[in-house]
Amino acid sequence: MNTHIHEDELALFAVQLLDEDEAEEILLHLSHCEHCRHVLAGIQGDLAIFAMSAETHSPPALARERLLEQVRREGKAPLSEKPAPSTTSQIAAGSVGRRSSARRGKPTDRMPRPDIRRAGGGRVAAEVSEPRPKLLARLLPWVGWAIAAGLAMEIGDLRRERDLLRSTVAAQSGDIARLGSDAATARQVLETLTDGSAMRVTLTRSKEAPVPVGRVHYLSEKGQLVFTASNMEPLGPYRTYELWLIPADGRDPIPAGTFRPDAQGSANVILPELPKGVPAKAFGITQEDEGGSQTPTMPIVMAGT
């Protein structure tokens, strides 16, 4: 009477799966044990929430027959089809009747008690394991639903992670492509500026003091050109400077890019579209209408060879 009832037994009591004798013992214990009453109340609350959270499905008849057959093979008594008491009041009423019968000398059926054996100088209670088919029958249908819900949540998480990884890979691929293009351009600029075979020309204003200065780095075999200028005079509206490549073979001048200097007179032309393999005799600069021209407009304001 000084020990508490195990939670498994209280759970079976709450779902009315104990026989009348066991239920009577638990009722007597609950009458004076506040702790066990508190545990039982929690179990009943959990069962109520569980019952309202989903539909009820009866176990397949074939599964029940297999379970009963297994019990018979293990030598257990066949399961009684008599339903358990529906309420605790019915259990208490039955127990009172049995106590009255016991006082009149009538024997009552009791559940077998665990065997008590000695081991190592102490008393060890052998555990009595009985199948609980009704409890299993009620709980087994929910196992599949719980597994299915867990798998659905896991699949949803995996899909979200997959979509996130795809977007990340796409963004990184774009960044790599842009970095590769920028690296190629920087490599060409550095090659044009540092190649020892590049032609280097300084352009000055014709027949005047070399105040405006332009410098050309040109690789004829690759068609790569880098032009920088300083101290250039400002232009009027809708006007632009245009750089010209004058071929050494006497062909017409080739446009090599347009530019407008900034407030300090600085400007540049980086890698304009030029044909490859055209040796240069000289370079010149003219003033053209905005957008440039296909033939130079005289006079040539700056030139260099």
Any residues with CB less than 8 A from the CB of 300 and at least 6 apart, and which?
A: 206, 244, 284, 285, 286
pTM over 0.95: no
The helix/strand/coil state of 117 is strand
Chain centre to alpha carbon of residue 256: 52
pLDDT at position 47 over 70: yes
Using CA atoms, how far apart are residues 7 and 39, in angstroms rounded to an integer?
Answer: 7
Q: What is the mean pLDDT of residues 271-300?
A: 95
What is the rounded average pLDDT of the residues 77-81? 46
Helix (H, G, I), strand (E, B) or coil at 257: strand
Total length of the chain: 305
**What token pair was written down for 237?**
């509206």
User: Among the ranges 70-79, 86-95, 168-177, 258-267, which has the highest mean pLDDT value?
Assistant: 258-267
pLDDT at 277 over 80: yes
- The residues spanned by each domain of the chain are 7-110, 199-304
Q: What is the largest CA-CA distance in the chain?
A: 143
Task: Say whether pLDDT at 89 is over 70.
Answer: no
Peptide bond into 299 cis (omega under 30): yes
Residue 206 or residue 200, greater confidence: 200
From 46-50, 243-247, 284-288, the region with the lowest mean pLDDT: 46-50
> Is the CATH number 2.60.40 carried by domain 199-304?
yes
